[in-house]
Structure 1
Amino acid sequence: MSPDIVTIDVKESDFIVNGKLSDVISIDSLVFLEYTDESIIGEIDKVLVSEDRIYVVDRHSAKSIFCFDRKGNFINSYNAIGRGPQEYLEIFDTSFFRDKMYVFAAPNQFFVLDENLKFEKSIDINWTVDIPLDPDYPYFSVINSETILFCHPSAHYHYHLYNLSKQAFISSHIKRLGTLDVSSQRNLTKNTSGKMFLSRFYNDTIYTVSENLMTPEYIINFEKPMTDNEIEERLKLNAYNSFNHPRPQKMYNVSSFIYNEEYISFEFEFKRSGHFCFYNPEKNIMKIFNNSLENDLFQGTYLRSSIGHHQNSNITWLEVTGLVDNKEEISFSIPDDLSYDSNPALVFYRPKFE
């Protein structure tokens, strides 16, 4: 193994199985998103945060992108469902770069919005026979003003670099790393400095993107990983036979890999349950837990997967039902007009390493 690759050991003996959620994380802030006729959010799939804006993507319910200020006041939304010019049927993914929102949507719509979600221009992506448009929610991220990284879970290659000036794909990667390559949207993250991290469903290597090259940088060394044979069997499953095969008991599926100045965080599956892992390299402290801990922070709900991050905070969301029902027991300030109809709330939080 290259000395430049950092190994992060995940052992079952390090799991925190007793205690309260407040023992392992602290809340930096709650952002209550303003509810108006133009900002009705069903579920939150992704959150992007700029210096003075919060962008919320609801791919499935509202099929819209919403823009709020950092206090949650509604600014604008983009919703153009249809088959005409500048319209789409559903949103695949979004990426924010230099005050511009890039949007990839069906059917094969790629366009740019300004920071207030006003339409600026469309971009034609020249898909080819070798690199076809994947119908199963392709996703992407803008690397720089010239280059876009596309990820396609079931295409022949998995990561494609597209040059906007040349209007062509310039490189495809990770073809020869074996057949155990499966990706999803939570396998691509980008931190505040613009550094990208790539992971895959059945692979424990984390890649970074630099100068249009993908380099292995981290290895998640699971104590109880899936074997190659087990992974190959999982990849053979489909909608017709998967119900005969319960989720694996082993450790697998590294996702939501986040790196910031204070810690590294990611999520993984073990014993049919999602787990959160937070690692402080400087102190060499590991915090691993799942939702079996008593949730004394937000009664009536649970800690969802990260949907974004900003500076040294992870971001998740919660339904306001539990907040409304347990107002008297929650130590955080809750708006007086909060009701069952209100939008979900964003939670900015970080791990405790004391």
Structure 2
Amino acid sequence: MSQSFKLLSHLDQLSGIKTGDYRPPVMVDIDPVDGSCNLDCAWCCQAASRESRPSRFMPDSTMERLGSFSKSWGIRSWRIAGDSEPLLNRNISILLESGRSNAIPMGLITNGVFLNRLDKDDLKKLNWLGVSLDAATAATWSSLKRETPDKFDQILDNIKNARALAPELDISIKFLRWSSADNLIKSDFVVNEFAPTFKHASDENEVFSNENEVDLFSKLADELNIRAIIKNAYPKDFPSHYGFESCRATALGGVFDASHNFHLCCDARGVYVLTDDYTRDDWNELPSLWGGDQHQELISSIQPKQCIGCAKYKINEVIEKYIVNDHSDNTFI
């Protein structure tokens, strides 16, 4: 289902965005790990975020509390991912149980190398599992991820095992259609003057693409008895395509990181931080800040044209055109 259609399920949140009376987030990102990844993807939009802070794992006590907090505040779902590989946190089962015991729908995005760390019970707690594979052959995968080719086969084995352990689970492999000539590369992701600089000389000169493996990737998904999700990577001139002036979609979500920061935007971790400790005041500070002057001023400070990438650009366009602005198209059904 497209993001635009999903908005129809959250009319109360949309009404709150229009009036300034923000409801609790629909979905939040949960980062079990900060500042560390086992792969080095050529287009990684989170590399600068990782470089800006030390490695840290979310404390067990935080993972235990997140479920009950999310339920009481009104958060509807979790996407477990991050600027790092979430399965590097060996205690992630605590987080999954915290979500399950509080009836929080959960999805997990992983690069798949450590997918074997999840057992049958862990997998049963998930609503969906996405593996960012981005290639159909070991050679291409190795070039894109800067890792030895044998890890590609290891990932496929892990996926097969996960499918056997959880035959009903919605499992997908994700493919980001990317070309270094046309799409953003890792060193491009410097959001603004507050974001860290992250440059690799080799990135500037390398010309590479995975586009010729799209059909083979779909066949691979069929062989694994899972879904293939194929999307386009961010284009180099992405901001010029934005059809919105304000980032109102930010009020629909946020990021709980392993260091207890709550970030407003998953594409700009460390730039728009609502609180540097969401556990402060026995977890009461964040709900008290949500929708307040500080929160709304922080959202207003976001300049979309300065954001090199935006995962919620389609949602922002719909909200601005059809929800906030009284566009005449609304009356022509």
TM-score, with structure 1 as normaliser: 0.29
Q: Which has the higher helix share?
A: 2
Q: Which has the higher strand share?
A: 1
Higher normalized contact order (CA 8 Å, seq sep 6+, divided by chain length): 2
Larger Rg: 1
